[in-house]
Amino acid sequence: MKKVCLVCLAVGSLLASCSRPVKPGKQAAGSLPFYQTPDFTPQWIAISAASPDTIHRIAAFRFIDQDGDSITEKTFAGKIYVADFFFTACPGICKRLTTNLALVQAAFKNDNQVLLLSHSVTPESDSVARLKQYAGDMGVISHKWHLVTGNHDEIYQIARRSYFADEDMGEKKGVNDFLHTENVLLIDTHRRIRGVYKGTSVKDMNDLIADIKTLEKED
């Protein structure tokens, strides 16, 4: 099986009556869009301060990181985070993706409001010990960047249902199909997708860094 590296995204959900949509594709000055559908069409939406959670959010989760700590959605409460999918045995794309994400880590090294979350898509082989070794090899800073493993089905479920990982051209993958994507996602403090980037592109990582700074002003 040809294994390619990954990272995911998207979002599907309903807009509530208290959310006033701006015309999709029309940028509101100084704001980032929301991504609500698997085709990643950006939408600029004015959200009521009283109802910030009316847009689809990443589902609750519980995984284990490279330090053996339990990582849940509460770990990221009130935080902006960057999400991707990878596996440690990937010889090419994943290492390049992780190297590029290290630029984001460096840019926000001393900013406690920004975290990174990388999910292993081969949790059966990516043990805590293996993740710890990989983290050391790649310069991952504990508590800033969580590399997580866990139940295979739970990882794949959140990848495909919450982040819509590797759903291309409307073709949904089966539960046993290998998950792969180069996409990196920017998630806001309410666990909503606000940006999608190609993880193998340094330019995209620079765009991501700039967008995080914009999002910090919003939040």
Q: What residues have CB less than 8 Å from 40, skipping those under 6 apart?
A: 9, 10, 196
* Lowest-confidence segment of 11-25, 41-55, 99-113, 183-197 by average pLDDT: 11-25
* Cα→Cα distances 34→48, 118, 170, 186, Å: 14, 21, 19, 10
Please tell me the distance from the alpha carbon of residue 188 to that of residue 3, in angstroms, as a whole number.
Answer: 30
Q: What is the pLDDT of residues 29-86, one digit of tens each?
A: 568 999 988 788 898 887 765 455 678 899 999 999 999 999 999 999 999 999 999 9
Specify which residues 184 forms β-bridges with.
197
Please tell me the distance from the alpha carbon of residue 28 to that of residue 197, in angstroms, as a whole number.
Answer: 20
* pTM across the whole model: 0.82
Amino acid at 168: D
- Copy the structure tokens of residue 99: 């190297």
Q: What is the pLDDT of residues 128-151, one digit of tens each?
A: 999 999 999 999 999 999 999 999
Please tell me the distance from the alpha carbon of residue 157 to that of residue 180, in angstroms, as a whole number.
Answer: 13
Q: Which domains does the chain have, with CATH numbers?
A: 57-218 (3.40.30.10)
